[in-house]
Amino acid sequence: MSQFLWYALIGAALFCIGLGGLVIHPHLLRRILALNVMSTGVFLIFVALAKRAGDLPDPVPLAMVLTGLVVSVSATALALVLVVRIKHLHGSTEFPEDDA
């Protein structure tokens, strides 16, 4: 197996782990962390897809990953500020349980 295939498989596994955490946990902070794990998986898949015939990878997907990292950090900071605001307003950071 090549190195790029390993990157793609690990990226897919990280995406699935993050998706599971997003669906299972009602706590908002854990959901934010699950979204970060999912984005890391997507970034690894993009790096794996950047393979070209030569020695050097394609720079366009790598630039997309770099831009995605900056956006991900900014979105995480905004989400954490919103979680703090929700905690102050409602006293809890978990979604209420459904009684249905």
The answer to whether 21 and 1 are in contact (CB under 8 A) is no
- Domain assignment present for 96: no
In which band, very low, low, confident or very high, does the pLDDT at 98 lie, cut at 50, 70 and 90? low
Predicted pLDDT of residue 99? 47
Kindly report, residue by residue over 59-81, the tens digit of the pLDDT.
888 899 999 999 999 999 999 99
CATH number reported for the structural domain that contains residue 68 in this entry: 1.10.287.3510
Q: Which domain covers residue 77, as residue numbers? A: 3-90
Reported pTM: 0.84
- Please give the tally of structural domains in the chain: 1
Across 19-23, 24-28, 52-56, least confident range: 52-56
Task: Please identify which residue in the block is written with the tokens 């998986």.
Answer: 41
- Domain assignment present for 31: yes
Task: Determine the Cα–Cα distance for residues 36 and 15; give it in Å rounded to an integer.
Answer: 9
- Domain assignment present for 97: no
